[in-house]
Amino acid sequence: MDVGKLRADTPGCARVAHLNNAGAALPPRSVLDAVTGHLALEATIGGYEAAEREAAAIEHFYDAIAGLIGARADEIAYVENATRAWDMAFYSIPFAEGDRILTTSGEYSSNAIAYRQVASATGARVEVVPDGPDGAISLPALDAELAKGGVRLVSLNHVPTHNGLVNPAAEVGRLCARHGVLYLLDACQSVGQLAVDVREIGCDMLSATGRKFLRGPRGTGFLYVRREIVPTLEPPFLDLHAAEWRAPDYEPRPDARRFETWERFVAGQLGLAAAADYASALGMDEIEKRVVSLAATLRTELAARPGTSVLDRGTRKSGIVTFTVDGHEPRAIQQAVREQGINVNVSSPAAHGYDPDAVAAAVRASVHYYNTEEEIGRLLTALP
């Protein structure tokens, strides 16, 4: 991986040491050009006319995302963000009284809110599967809960946003398949930094964003829905793109695009396709290797600093590194290093999921393949 070339291809690298890729990564030039080029075309000839001219490129989006995650093009929907993609999947499941929803202690709070809303409306139950010794979901505990029956859905984060671990998604998939249970994977923090293959994982649905490790535009995301289960799910809302009007009734589309709406950020869709192409060209295995290596270096160096506590859990870890420094508020650290041209973020673990022992706040530094060891050194030097 030619890091110098990749950095030269990333305009933001000349201005900042960007260690906030779990928030929003710096886009490469091809993504920037795809978005701004289409916006310029819309301004020149009109929005509808620009979409007609770029129809082939818009259609390529589905192949680009499918190729990135090992899916088929008809299993992909373009959605305006990962939260809405996840919502479209979750709220399409016909829950009934007594249905069990299994999740993990590190679940994202937006998802937890949705669980409670649906549980209150339908009588379904939300149950948290215990963690294993490493902090990831306990596979024996999950297997035991599935064996009890009544589970309608297993839903978890592939990479929680606040503690660095990688959940054993493929092992969870095998258990769900064995018990015949739907499996929804929130891959918001994994697509773009880890090799993700939906066939290997065995999930029925997967949601992801463009702005994080995939390096796409903000306001973009996608949803994968396995072809065989699409007909069993009706989205919470439809339009003339997602369904065909057959007065006095309608018929939803037979593919995953039933989860889309007709109106969309077309320039963003083209930018997200460019981001997927960029990642695929580099190779997700190579990307993962470098991201994991840089994050391991950062954790080792942080752990060696007096008064610094690394909070990450899991046997397998991601590019997300969370830590605290004794006597210093995370928000103050974020501001102090930003003044030195270094971007990090502040995570609020206690505001996420169901973990009663989570800390109130932590510094979150998230590396990507275009970051360098020198930038990691700059952060370490800038810390109090």
**Number of residues assigned to the chain:** 384
End-to-end CA distance of the chain: 33
- Identify any residues that bridge with 366 across adjacent strands, giving them in sequence order: 20, 320
Closest-CA residue to 328 (of 309, 356, 300, 304):
309
Amino acid residing at 266? V
Residue 316: how many other CB atoms lie within 10 Å? 14
d(CA 295, CA 316): 12
Average pLDDT for residues 95-116, to the nearest whole number? 96
**Domains of the chain: residue spans and CATH:** 3-26+283-382 (3.90.1150.10), 32-281 (3.40.640.10)
pLDDT at 104: 96
* Distance set, CA 189 to CA 200, 321, 327, 342 (Å): 18, 13, 29, 21
- Measured in degrees and rounded to the nearest 5, phi and psi for residue 205 equal -140, 145
* Distance set, CA 277 to CA 13, 62, 383 (Å): 20, 11, 36
141 near 104, Cβ under 8 Å? no
54 near 34, Cβ under 8 Å? no
b vs e for 228-242, b when ≥16 Cβ sit within 10 Å of the residue's Cβ? Answer: eebeebbbeebeeeb
Average model confidence (pLDDT) for the chain?
Answer: 97
- Measured in degrees and rounded to the nearest 5, phi and psi for residue 368 equal -135, 175
* Distance set, CA 34 to CA 42, 164, 266 (Å): 12, 32, 10
Average pLDDT for residues 198-219, to the nearest whole number? 98
pLDDT at 356: 81
b vs e for 101-115, b when ≥16 Cβ sit within 10 Å of the residue's Cβ? Answer: bbbbbbbbeebbebb
pLDDT at 353: 79
Distance of CA 317 to the CA centre of its chain: 15
d(CA 249, CA 255): 19
How confident is the model over 26-85, as pLDDT tens digits?
999 999 999 999 999 999 999 999 999 999 999 999 999 999 999 999 999 999 999 999
pLDDT at 351 over 80: no
